[in-house]
Structure 1
Amino acid sequence: MEAVVKPFPASAGTEAAGRPDRAEAEEAVRTLLRWMGEDPTREGLLETPARVVKAYGELFGGYKQEAGDVLGRTFEDVSGYEDMVLVKDIDFHSHCEHHMVPIIGKAHVAYVPHGRVLGLSKIARLVDIYGRRLQTQESMTAQIADAMQRLLQPAGVAVMIEAEHLCMSMRGIRSRGATTITTAFNGAFKTDAELTRRFMKLSGQST
């Protein structure tokens, strides 16, 4: 599930905030095209700078949102439920902060309620917010877990991310199909080995 993202502003206020305006961003794309050896004035590339800036407004829309925007509303009527809640196989796309090349993967996020539960779609939206930023997989995993723990205050949080980094498959070593797995555990998932084992098993990882 994708978060609703706001486009980057065209110009108003961006200079004061230190962010280039849209015209400057489009000119930067033209500079890159010239650096590649292309001609930005040829017919097929005339609209490319505007399209790239518009696409970046969506791909990096996570900078316009915070975790509290989606985790602020919870439900207290849980009928005494105190077991693990797991949302698995959350598709996401991010970009490596080192090369700005895509990271494509799935996130599995679980928590043990402590009097409050979230709407399930909120977890997917949280993953989307952090995915739509320049990232390392390790940082993204920790950020999701920390936001869940800080804002929901559950008995425990577990996050696992499985992803392919195109900076490995498209360039450098060019290792296609390699998957990186990262995990973060808080609270009960650090102290209860059986709970952690269940999370790993339900997320599709043998233990």
Structure 2
Amino acid sequence: MGLPFKLKSKEEKYCRHLRENTKEIKNATAILFEALDNPLAVADIMSRMDAVEEQADKVTGRIMALLEKAFVTPFDREDIYTLAQKLDDIVDHIKETVECLALYNVGPAPAGAMELAVLIAKAGRQLDKAMGQLPKLKSQRDKIEARCKRIAGLEEQGDKIYRQEMVRLFGQVKDPIELIKWKEILLHLEDTLDLCEKVSKLIQGIILKYA
């Protein structure tokens, strides 16, 4: 059964590891900005992106190992498991976007792509701060809920930007190959933002159960 009060040191490990994964989201997003800023040089930074993904996988593995051994967990095992997996998925989605930029040899990034990346970075920061407040869930409930609402707002902005960029692509881009490339890249970015919102909803579910 989960514990809505102050966590003990062993139980704090879960929240600490979850926050480690949000740090890797921030690291991955920084690399994404580099890739969008200079798509032609993106192959040179793929090794760093691989390292970030590997570290995120290790953190997720540590969480799973703790779950296997633990008798008491701060929240439901399923909630911790799903949170860890979804945070890892965000890093994976960002890596896939960077891989597309490397493989497709695209031209300069459209403004909409950079705007979506900015929203992902903002959502990542909110997730990081929410994970930092999770050990004191009862006293920090309102602040965590506010962060989740901000992420939902960022996702709504992302939907609008994605739709606008699709209209621009199909209306202005004459090269069909270039159009297909950016359509897929933009979809990866939009999906990443959707994942951030899914994590925020998971956090809201934990709040309802334990705060």
TM-score by length of 2: 0.28
Richer in strand (by share): 1
**Larger relative contact order, structure 1 or 2 (CA cutoff 8 Å, min sep 6):** 2
TM-score between both structures, scaled by the size of structure 1: 0.28
Larger helix fraction of residues = 2
- Give the structure with higher Rg (CA): 1
